[in-house]
Amino acid sequence: MRRGFELPRATVGVTRWRRFRATVDWPLILTIVAIAGIGLLNLYSAVHGTRHAGKFDKQLTWMGIGVGLFLLAMVTDYRTLVRLAWFALGAAIFMLIVVRLIGDAAHAKGSYRWLNVGSTGGQPSELAKIAVVLVAAKILQDADVARLRWTQIMVRGLTLLVPVLLIADQPDLGTAVLLSLVILTVGFLALPDVKPMAYVTLAGLLAIPFRWERLHWYQKQRILAFLDPGADPTGSGWHTRQSIFAVGSGQVTGKGYMAGTQNQFDFLPEHWTDFPYSVWAEEWGFLGSVALLALYAFLIIWILNVALSARDRAGAVICLGVAAMTFWHVVVNVAMVLGLAPVVGVTLPFVSYGGSSLLTFFVGMGLVASVSLRKHGY
């Protein structure tokens, strides 16, 4: 005989679903959908009618996989993933070593960044970004950092430099610098004492002259072209000059969709991956450019808002890491397009063509959605 009144299982299931749907972070999801939609629109304009037209279909496939990974990361308790953080970092380091030994250098123009598996491939450096964010959350969760001396914090944080050094050795200077910026940003924002991060930053700046001597010839040329684009306008300075021409020619309202001459006549090199913002600015002008940047700004601010409302330190650090990763990708890519930074091959989140980067950002945003969902008690 039943004790008291019990709701039917179907009713309980509907109630739980409605509660879950009500607590899903819709502003986060809708902003991602808007930026990804712009990315597909922009990519179609960049590659249609060319030998690269197949990239659009591939990007659609990666988008579908990315959405699946986003949902998987969202419904998975982020605290479970934080417990596996060291395993994820170990796997990332192992893959970075493997790609250095047997990676496809031809795919990345002499750099050992790609690891081919069958007919497809990927960049292990993208996995390293998520692993580093999870390990940072693990380190700051495991101990009361306020009671640790800065030397103890630095020893723990040195493990995060291992993937940075391996990525720099590929060589992939852009990703290595970007990952360093993510680590420094999380450290400055999450640690109660900024002294350790100040020492690390100073050491990195002092190492620049020594690192310069170890740069490859083409890397030095890109940096020199950034300092003086007019020195070699048809060589190392070509990318930057054509990008600036494209952005400037868009003026206020743009030339119109699929009407950008720099884009359609193929003056912009790698405009589907490195310079998609140039394509967008030429076709949609200053107003469209600002609108896209406003979407990114809202996305980053919203992630920081999720960090402030997270139920624990680990969730907050995850959000800080994903926000920093998004911020620096946008800043470096747009600065590169405008001639304010060297051409280093950093992608524009959800807009640039490329499966590895796209999946990384979908997983990162899924982690943020997981943190947001569980602040309600899930």
> Coil, helix or strand for 357?
helix
Q: How confident is the model at residue 1, as a pLDDT?
A: 44
Angle at Cα 251 formed by Cα 246 and Cα 257, nearest 5°?
Answer: 70
Tokens 């899924």 belong to residue: 366
Q: How confident is the model at residue 226, as a pLDDT?
A: 66
- 40 sits in which H/E element: helix 26-47
Residue 132 lies in a domain: yes
* 81 contacts: CB under 8 Å, gap ≥ 6: 73, 88, 134, 367
Residue 3 lies in a domain: no
d(CA 307, CA 318): 8
Domain count, the chain: 1
Q: How confident is the model at residue 254, as a pLDDT?
A: 87
Residue 143 lies in a domain: yes
Q: How confident is the model at residue 121, as a pLDDT?
A: 62
Residue 365 lies in a domain: yes
Q: How confident is the model at residue 106, as a pLDDT?
A: 47
Residue 1 lies in a domain: no
Half-sphere exposure of 214 (CA within 13 A, CB side): 12
**pLDDT-flagged residues of the chain (< 70):** 1-20, 103-121, 142-154, 212-214, 216-219, 224-238, 265-266, 376-378
Q: How many helices (H) and strands (E) does the chain have?
A: 17, 2
Across 231-298, where does the E strand assignment appear? Answer: none
* 219 contacts: CB under 8 Å, gap ≥ 6: 171, 173
Residue 291 lies in a domain: yes
List the one residue out of 199, 187, 214, 206 whose CA is nearest residue 317.
187
Domain hosting residue 96, numbered range: 38-374
- Sign of the dihedral through C-alpha 215, 216, 219, 223: positive
Q: How confident is the model at residue 292, as a pLDDT?
A: 96
pLDDT digits (tens, 9 = 90+) for 244-268: 888 888 889 989 888 887 777 667 7
Half-sphere exposure of 199 (CA within 13 A, CB side): 10
Q: How confident is the model at residue 317, as a pLDDT?
A: 95
Q: How confident is the model at residue 14, as a pLDDT?
A: 61
d(CA 173, CA 176): 5
Q: How far is CA 362 from the centre of its chain?
A: 9
Specify the amino acid at residue 223: I
Residue 29 lies in a domain: no
Residue 33 lies in a domain: no
Q: How confident is the model at residue 23, as a pLDDT?
A: 81
Average confidence score pLDDT of the chain:
83
pLDDT digits (tens, 9 = 90+) for 204-231: 788 777 776 667 666 677 776 666 666 5
Cα distances from 291 to residues 30, 134, 207, 248, 332, in angstroms, run: 15, 31, 38, 16, 18
Q: How confident is the model at residue 352, as a pLDDT?
A: 93
